[in-house]
Structure 1
């Protein structure tokens, strides 16, 4: 039942939940599965691809943390883009980010259903996908606290798994594992760190960056805590160790344990590494962990998409009725609308996997890089406007590192243009940007003619 048609979210998240959302945000299902493809393409130097990617993510999170600590907001970087560059930027970033996550929701529902079919082979894929979507929709609809609690435990399982792997993997490579002497030979094969050439490093970065998407969700969720500023500061300051330990550390151990050319498509390199260490039951365990990571992505994706839609509705840049919230302070209509698109994406994966669904997936692929680039531009513009007493978090060596980070992201986008399997993502991503900008221009024209009520800036 909707009790607040004006729309006011409630601070139902706890600090521990925000901390775990931030930690789990950099451990996606892509790390557990996609890291094998990066290692197979780059070689033993794959950990350097993750290191360079991690540096970009750390810089973006630091910039976002500076802005979010000064102005905590549910709209987060879409509001900062609006403040820095105008309404067109806020409109574009919010809609692109919403589109990215609803596509992720549909994709992850299908991926999760695929894992469930290992244990439930008789159940059709579409029924399992629908079941997962309904579960996460119900979780988000009940209360923001239930979202946070689910995410706390989902992220906790991911973190525990990575920590166990890092501990056991370290013992294995330094020779403290039963029956295994110290051996780092996999790091120096005949072809060196980059047997496929140095250019493969940049190809690996393009793939690796998508496995770290999600760290920024904590800045959106922090607005629904009792102390948003403190929540943002703590989440931002811990991002360095999270990226270094969980992503770079685990991939380094994978390259030390396994020959770089032993990757089997569709098989998690973590499973192969555990099996190399003699832990034969690791396959079922890792399937369960990957399934948990997918549920975490579904959960946070639906939350994030609904909050972006809620912010757009509040500015009358989406149907204004979507701003209504329940007695528990949950934006019910925004959640249901975002869920519906996720359902449609899952249906397309079943009905037309090689055409419509592939088009939708590719068209959202490069969007996160555009969003990150806008975060950097916003920080560059807004930094001089922030009062010194509000700078609780500061971007290091501003503006030099900001400009270098922007250059790095531009280089990644350029690398996508030269990589056969990512070129379509870049092109369709640019098409998506163009469509949203066209929608903004049409809306502005309608507003100027008095057909629509314009939104207003609140920050």
Structure 2
């Protein structure tokens, strides 16, 4: 929807400008594809492979199936009950005002911490070329550049994200093609040891036991962060009735190709025993293949992947959630302000300012920064995905109570049984996060976060009503 010619002062009493539907089908499709390919796969998989071995592929397939069901639940609500605030509005409508407030702010903090992880990864990738360059400096430069881009306009952001995603996709397809060439045609010296038998022969599919293998589910779920971005972009998408289902329905193919396909090829070329924590398996694999300059090219790709995730989720999504909270009366009115180009510029600036904490973490604890930050992000994501599923259950209940009055052109398969199946699975991963001493800090942070949210709600949030148009 085009904006009103009146100026938005960002307050409840002032006129309210809507987002502009500036995202084309081409950009939405590429964002949907690229949004789920980030640091969790390109960097986090190195740690997970060393711990789980080839069984990691099984967990990526299982997690992809669960997240597809989450997105079908969200897609059903987006298509049949459109809302500019996305799943935060559904949480408010079906679970109550507190949950709308808590979901918006939790999604904000989740992506702020994810953005910290991405700029952390960017620092590690740059160290591949310049080992002496401080990690925190790369993080700071990356954050400053991406913030500037997000402040200009949605079109420029979307076009940059389109090319970020294109680079990732082209690179993964190219890597799979080269890997198949090594396996099938004996391409490069790596062909002497490359074999699909690496998937089961080097200590078995689950070499360190089921317990250690299951512990990688936290980093696996982190790799899928961003899949729900489709729900955030709905208000700025052209022809959402057609483009949103198209983007969601393509998820299984994307997960199968980019996650499972790439890992199958890499773990066939190089034994899982060769990968080390903190090293990108993609860079390591192509270093071993011996193609001149290939490792540097792959390192550039994973660097752009980290910047892409920070761009789309860390800044774009967090700013929209801050504005949703503001418009619902659950945050300072100033966050509702839009620039003349339709950008929530105050919210973008606030998110970037908090994300700068990641620069500090990189300065004081660069070795542990990625583990701590990804654990917190995954905990927040589990909560948000759970809220989507429960809100969908309530939506279906209200629909049945009202005699199915609302259209049901796009439905979640197997509901409500599939809702409960995914909720139980997410609860199981939460137990695993608590079990691991290194990731347990995430639950402490989330518990403290909910204490802050509850105090904020008690002293202010519940006393403010939604902003009026």
Q: Which moved more, 1:169-178 or 1:16-25?
A: 169-178
CA RMSD, aligned part only? 2.6
Shift in Å, 1:71 = 2.7
**Equivalent position of 1:25 in the other structure:** 35
| Structure 2 residue 334 is the aligned partner of structure 1 residue 321 | yes
| Structure 2 residue 141 is the aligned partner of structure 1 residue 131 | yes
Q: CA distance change for structure 1 residues 32 and 122 in 2, over 3 Å: closer, same or farther?
A: closer
The count of corresponding residues between Structure 1 and Structure 2 is 451
How far apart, in 1, do the equivalents of 2:304 and 2:17 lie?
Answer: 32
Shift in Å, 1:147 = 0.9
**Equivalent position of 1:450 in the other structure:** none
**Equivalent position of 2:394 in the other structure:** 381
The one of 399, 409, 421 equivalent to 1:404 is: 421
| Structure 2 residue 172 is the aligned partner of structure 1 residue 155 | no
How far apart, in 2, do the equivalents of 1:69 and 1:127 lie?
Answer: 43
**Is 1:309–1:322's contact at 8 Å kept on the other side of the alignment?**
yes
**Is 1:91–1:317's contact at 8 Å kept on the other side of the alignment?**
yes
Q: CA distance change for structure 1 residues 123 and 193 in 2, over 3 Å: closer, same or farther?
A: closer
**Equivalent position of 1:442 in the other structure:** 459
| Structure 2 residue 13 is the aligned partner of structure 1 residue 3 | no
**Equivalent position of 2:450 in the other structure:** 433
| Secondary structure at 2:356 match in 1 | helix
| Structure 2 residue 91 is the aligned partner of structure 1 residue 81 | yes
Shift in Å, 1:100 = 1.2
| Secondary structure at 1:397 match in 2 | coil
Q: CA distance change for structure 1 residues 122 and 418 in 2, over 3 Å: closer, same or farther?
A: closer
Shift in Å, 1:124 = 5.2
**Equivalent position of 1:70 in the other structure:** 80
**Is 1:365–1:429's contact at 8 Å kept on the other side of the alignment?**
no
Where do 5+ consecutive residues of structure 2 fail to align?
A: 1-5, 10-15
**Equivalent position of 2:12 in the other structure:** none
Q: CA distance change for structure 1 residues 128 and 272 in 2, over 3 Å: closer, same or farther?
A: closer
What's the TM-score once normalised by structure 2's chain length? 0.89
The one of 243, 248, 259 equivalent to 1:231 is: 243
Q: CA distance change for structure 1 residues 228 and 190 in 2, over 3 Å: closer, same or farther?
A: closer
How far apart, in 2, do the equivalents of 1:134 and 1:191 lie?
Answer: 46
Where do 5+ consecutive residues of structure 1 fail to align?
A: 448-452
Q: CA distance change for structure 1 residues 388 and 170 in 2, over 3 Å: closer, same or farther?
A: farther
**Is 2:120–2:358's contact at 8 Å kept on the other side of the alignment?**
no
**Is 1:4–1:324's contact at 8 Å kept on the other side of the alignment?**
yes
Q: CA distance change for structure 1 residues 362 and 264 in 2, over 3 Å: closer, same or farther?
A: closer
**Is 1:143–1:328's contact at 8 Å kept on the other side of the alignment?**
yes
Shift in Å, 1:75 = 2.0
How far apart, in 2, do the equivalents of 1:326 and 1:20 lie?
Answer: 25
The one of 356, 359, 380 equivalent to 1:346 is: 359
**Equivalent position of 1:424 in the other structure:** 441
**Equivalent position of 1:309 in the other structure:** 322
**Is 1:27–1:212's contact at 8 Å kept on the other side of the alignment?**
yes
Once the two structures are superposed, residues 343-396 of structure 1 have per-residue CA deviations (whole angstroms, 9 ceiling, x without a partner) of 243234325768999877754441111111111111111124345663232111
Q: Which moved more, 1:263-272 or 1:39-48?
A: 263-272
**Equivalent position of 1:415 in the other structure:** 432
The one of 336, 342, 347 equivalent to 1:334 is: 347
**Equivalent position of 1:272 in the other structure:** 284
